[in-house]
Structure 1
Amino acid sequence: MEKLFVYGTLRKGQKRHKLIEKFRFLGFVRVCGFDMYDFGAYPGVVAGKGIIYGEVYEVSNAFIDWLDYIEGLRLGLFRRTFCEVELEQGDRINAHVYVYSFPINNAKLIKDGDWIKYLNQKEVL
């Protein structure tokens, strides 16, 4: 089994969460050293100076391989790497994360690094 950090559409309450919900939820986490951007239907993260928030799951190797296809690794849209995540209780673990690989261009920076909070604020406006 592998640890996977998710920060966007795979999170609880989001449109693609059903793909991951059968796996063991390990907790809510934060990750330092990334900036998050809004690409319309989904967010992407790149190396940066910010903090991003999400969830970590324990998933199968087969799921990771399948998700590589879904996330567009073969097209170069994202790349999978490891990052250190900090769980709410302070424990730190390493997890896979999908990092955006294309140019950022005019994508909007999500300053607080939380996709769900960002979406909720957009709905209010």
Structure 2
Amino acid sequence: MDPVFVYGTLKRGQVNHHWLRGAAFLGRRRLGGACLYDLGPYPMAVPGDGLIHGELFAVDGPGLLRLDGLEDVPLLYQRHRRPLADGTLAWTYLGQAPQVAGRALVPFADWGSTPVFLSEPIAHQDPPDGVGGG
């Protein structure tokens, strides 16, 4: 199984997530050294000085080849093995700067969701005795 970082229509709840059927979800992750652009129906990440948000999946060999077909490798995207912010090496699909010329960046570098930024962590307190439960 290969770790694959996805940041657009392959994420959970997005239109192409079914292409990852059978792949294990490994959690949300971040990829540095890339910027995420809005191409209308889908985003495209290209090398740059940003940090993008996405999801990590464990994909088998045939699944990886299916993703290559979906992503039109090597014409539209190229598959690269890149280190994620947590040090995990993962495959991801990147375009080239000329493909995103004149396009807007995806807000918060997170396609399909808006992250919440808090100035302080939320304090979780235990409920008083006899309150709450199963």
Could you say whether these structures have the same fold, taking a TM-score greater than 0.5 normalized by the shorter chain as the test?
yes
* Whole-angstrom distance in 1 between the partners of 2:34 and 2:17: 22
* Whole-angstrom distance in 2 between the partners of 1:37 and 1:105: 9
Residue deviations 1:26-67 (CA, integer Å, cap 9, x gap)? 110011110000011100001111110000000001111111
* Residue equivalent to 2:19: 19
The runs of at least 4 consecutive aligned structure 1 residues that moved more than 4 Å come to none
* Correspondence list, 1:38-49, <5 A: 38-49=38-49
Q: Which has the greater radius of gyration?
A: 2
The alignment yields a C-alpha RMSD, in angstroms, of 1.4
SS in 1 for 2:99: coil
Aligned length: 113
Q: Is the 8 A contact 1:51 1:112 kept in 2?
A: no
* Residue equivalent to 1:123: none
* Residue equivalent to 1:95: 90
Tell me the amino acid that sits aligned with residue 108 of structure 2.
D
* Whole-angstrom distance in 2 between the partners of 1:49 and 1:43: 17
Q: Is the 8 A contact 1:31 1:51 kept in 2?
A: yes
Give 5+ residue unaligned stretches, structure 1.
119-125
SS in 2 for 1:66: helix
Give 5+ residue unaligned stretches, structure 2.
115-134
Pick the structure with more helix per residue.
1
What is the TM-score normalised by the length of structure 1? 0.83
* Correspondence list, 1:1-125, <5 A: 1-74=1-74, 76-86=75-85, 91-101=86-96, 103-117=99-113
Pick the structure with more strand per residue.
1
Tell me the amino acid that sits aligned with residue 76 of structure 2.
L
What is the TM-score normalised by the length of structure 2? 0.78
The structural deviation recorded for 1:92 is 2.3
